[in-house]
Chain A
Amino acid sequence: MNPLLKLDNVSSFIGPFHILQGVSLEVYPGEAVVILGRNGAGKTTTLRTIIGLVPASGGKIILDNVDLTAMPPYNTVRQGIGFVPEDYGIFDALTVEENLLIAMLQEDQETLDRRDHVLELFTDLKESYKRFASTLSGGQRQMLSIARALVNDNKIILIDEPSKGLAPIIVEKVRDTLLTFKQKKTIVLVEQNFEMACAVGDRFYIIAEGQTVLDGTMKELMDDEELQRKHLGFVTA
């Protein structure tokens, strides 16, 4: 089987800083791949480079046989990528309805049906539909960000630290949500919360100093405390 998303020795800069120095990974249709690593390793930059928000300076990024490497972000996304950024990327000056509307690449019946389905999934958003996004709680903002990635028929969803800054009870809700749509979507998840990563991920890649240094199944990582200590700096209980 061909990978849906393939990064081959990708590098990129932010200003003068060489952040990604050779990231390679493959994501197959239907699986959830978790990108792990210490703070500043280049996990978020990897997602932003796939999208095109950080231009790739080398290597290849292929999605479903389409070369994304030199594409501007607005075209990259139109190839079928949903993006849930670390800071949610919610527009405060827009209502919940408008935040969903602006994300819809088409306004055909199929997309409208998907939006309605997403609202059934996130009942909080349905109740706040006409409210400005600035009034939403952290958890609701995260839900809206995920909902926005689901209104289009995307091939793959990139999610950056969905549990960051959220209360434990909200993290559980976010995890359940990811588990629900994991059955239908291919996911790339950047996550510091190891429990969340273990619950959602099928496979993992570890990035250190801008390079992929290890990959395997989540089960292998969960069972190997030495690997966790060496690459992630912690030991699970």
Chain B
Amino acid sequence: MHIFLMLLINGLAEGALIFLMAAGLSIILGLLGVVNFTHGVLFIWGGYVSIWIFSMTGSFPIAIIAAVAAGFIMGLIFERLFIRPVYGNVTAQILITLGLGVVFTDMARLFWGPNPIPASRPEFMDGTWVIGAVIISQYRIFLIIIGILVAIAINYLVNRTKVGMVMRAGIQSPDMVQALGINIKVYFAGVFAGGAALAALGGALYVPLVGSVWSGMGINNQILAFIVIILGGMGSFYGSAVGSIIIGLTVAFVSWFYPPLTVYTTVLLLLLVLTLKPEGLFGMAVRN
């Protein structure tokens, strides 16, 4: 029983991290119709910036804020210079975002070196709680709480604010949103930058969990995030949340009992959903 509880917490923490990546990716795909392969590199940069700032200030919150700010600014620049000219052209989006991924991964290597840099957890979250035979990592509980808070914040933004209203309307008809006097391009840029900031937050929180940052850590998480959004339903925020939990738990349980099967199980899950419900669990229309 205690192993089950530990794996449950590990899985939920893993799911929370994947959710930070997948939520942004999913909203960008749903509203902008952009297939974004820069998410992995934003995740990496979030990780590097956070430990860089942490090493200078010794403050974990400042490091996290700096990583999120860096992700947001990079997102704004990416959207304005590289994504905006190729809205509606999926092939160009894939090529350009893959290219950006390569360039900015190498830039990270240039700035911070090719070797992994060790990172530690903030002292106040470095401990464990022992309840009976169950050992609970405080940092994993922190990740779950952050995941829940981000999900609540996104849900509030999407369903309770005018910004969310414009986002939901924009998914259906950006032209009509403009015909109501709203500059949808500003929202597009904001959504892209917001999604980028979430990816950077994911990277910044991932580094203390695994104990180091390296330039290859983005790709695995990006693949998991893509699996999540296909599993949950492209463009669906709820789909990303549920898909992240499913994948997080699957990875935690399978990797405990039989690690070599982990990747196969996630892909098998994806195949199952695509076969039985091709639009994903909470699928909705995605702009062409």
Q: Given A77-B179, A83-B179, A102 and B171 touching (CB < 8 A)?
A: no
A202 beta carbon closer than 8 Å to chain B: no
B-side contacts of A53, CB under 8 Å? 175, 178-179
Please tell me if the beta carbons of A102 and B172 are within 8 angstroms of each other in the complex.
no
User: Which of A75, A91, A105 is in CB contact (< 8 Å) with B169?
Assistant: A91
In the assembled complex, how far is the CB of residue B71 from the closest CB belonging to chain A, in whole angstroms? 27
A148 beta carbon closer than 8 Å to chain B: yes
B261 beta carbon closer than 8 Å to chain A: no
A-side contacts of B173, CB under 8 Å? 89, 91
Please tell me if the beta carbons of A74 and B171 are within 8 angstroms of each other in the complex.
no
B181 beta carbon closer than 8 Å to chain A: yes
Please tell me if the beta carbons of B165 and A94 are within 8 angstroms of each other in the complex.
yes
Query: Chain B binding site: helix, strand, loop or mixed by DSSP?
Result: helix
- What's the tally of chain B residues with a CB closer than 8 Å to chain A? 18
In the assembled complex, how far is the CB of residue B229 from the closest CB belonging to chain A, in whole angstroms? 18
B128 beta carbon closer than 8 Å to chain A: no
A72 beta carbon closer than 8 Å to chain B: yes
Please tell me if the beta carbons of B168 and A94 are within 8 angstroms of each other in the complex.
yes
B180 beta carbon closer than 8 Å to chain A: yes
A73 beta carbon closer than 8 Å to chain B: yes
A-side contacts of B180, CB under 8 Å? 77, 83, 102-103, 148
A-side contacts of B176, CB under 8 Å? 85, 89, 91
Please tell me if the beta carbons of B169 and A51 are within 8 angstroms of each other in the complex.
no
B182 beta carbon closer than 8 Å to chain A: yes
Residues of A126-177 whose CB lies within 8 A of B:
148
Residues of A37-69 whose CB lies within 8 A of B:
51-53
B183 beta carbon closer than 8 Å to chain A: yes
Q: Given A89-B173, A93-B172, A102-B169, A73 and B178 touching (CB < 8 A)?
A: yes
User: Which of A74, A91, A93 is in CB contact (< 8 Å) with B183?
Assistant: A74
Chain B residues within 8 Å of A, Cβ to Cβ: 162, 165-166, 168-169, 171-173, 175-184
